[in-house]
Amino acid sequence: MHLSKRHMNKQLDEKTKQKIIEWINEGFSVAQIQKKLAEELNIRLTYMEVKLLLADLDLVPKDQESADQKKSQAPTPQQNQQAQQSPLNVGTVTVTVDEYPQPGTVLSGRVTFSDGQRADWYMDEMGRLGIAPELTGYRPSEDDLKKFKSALQNELARLGYL
């Protein structure tokens, strides 16, 4: 079962909501809750959808509490600049995060794919990820997209966003 954000909360019965609350109380992370939903309840959601669901239910997982504490200790502009200048490289895909997100985005940055093609990436307030290549019509390989998503997730976690 795959639920859109609009229908997530409406389609979850009380038993499912109670199970999620139980997992939160047991200290499960967002990723662990995502896995439990899929394995035990056959509800398949993306990581971001689980985060949104938890927010809709006013629940904060243990891993999010520590991330929120890290955010309250926000890095200085100098630390952000250093992070941007030392991009994370997974294989041959390089990702940077902008110190100040582009207008209309929550997060943004640059990616260089294994073939040398570059693109801007961005995340909107709904958690949707987008890529705007420099070369019109360019599409990165599936392998590069996987590496990009992994590198981005690692970099965002390193910077305290996840």
Query: What is the DSSP track for the chain?
Result: -B--HHHHHHH--HHHHHHHHHHHHTT--HHHHHHHHHHHH--B--HHHHHHHHHHTT---HHHHHHHHHHHTPPPHHHHHHHHHS-EEETTEEEEE-SSPPTT-SEEEEEE-TTS-EEEEEE-TT--EEEEESSTT----HHHHHHHHHHHHHHHHHTT--
- Backbone CA torsion sign across 40, 41, 42, 46: negative
User: Facing residues of 112 across strands?
Assistant: 94, 118
Evaluate whether 56 touches 9 at the Cβ level (below 8 Å).
Answer: yes
66 and 108 assigned to the same domain: no
CA–chain centroid gap for 98, Å, is: 15
90 and 44 assigned to the same domain: no
The count of domains in the chain is 2
Q: Which of 50, 71, 92 is the last residue of a domain?
A: 71
115 and 132 assigned to the same domain: yes
pLDDT of residue 11: 58
Residue 30 has pLDDT above 70, yes or no: yes
106 and 47 assigned to the same domain: no
pLDDT of residue 43: 85
Residue 28 has pLDDT above 60, yes or no: yes
Q: 50: pLDDT confidence band, cut at 50, 70 and 90?
A: confident
Domain span holding position 67: 5-71
Other CB atoms within 10 A of residue 95 CB:
23
Best CA proximity match to 100, nearest among 92, 108, 111: 108
90 and 146 assigned to the same domain: yes
Residue 45 has pLDDT above 90, yes or no: no
Best CA proximity match to 134, nearest among 113, 106, 150: 113
Higher-scoring residue by pLDDT: 11, 31:
31
Q: 48: pLDDT confidence band, cut at 50, 70 and 90?
A: confident
**Residue 99 carries which side chain, given as an amino acid letter?**
E
Predicted structure pTM score: 0.46
pLDDT of residue 12: 74
Q: 60-115, pLDDT tens digit by residue?
A: 876 655 444 444 455 555 444 444 444 555 458 899 999 888 888 899 999 999 88
Q: 102-153, pLDDT tens digit by residue?
A: 888 899 999 999 888 999 999 988 889 999 999 888 999 999 999 999 989 8
pLDDT of residue 161: 79
pLDDT of residue 65: 53
66 and 30 assigned to the same domain: yes
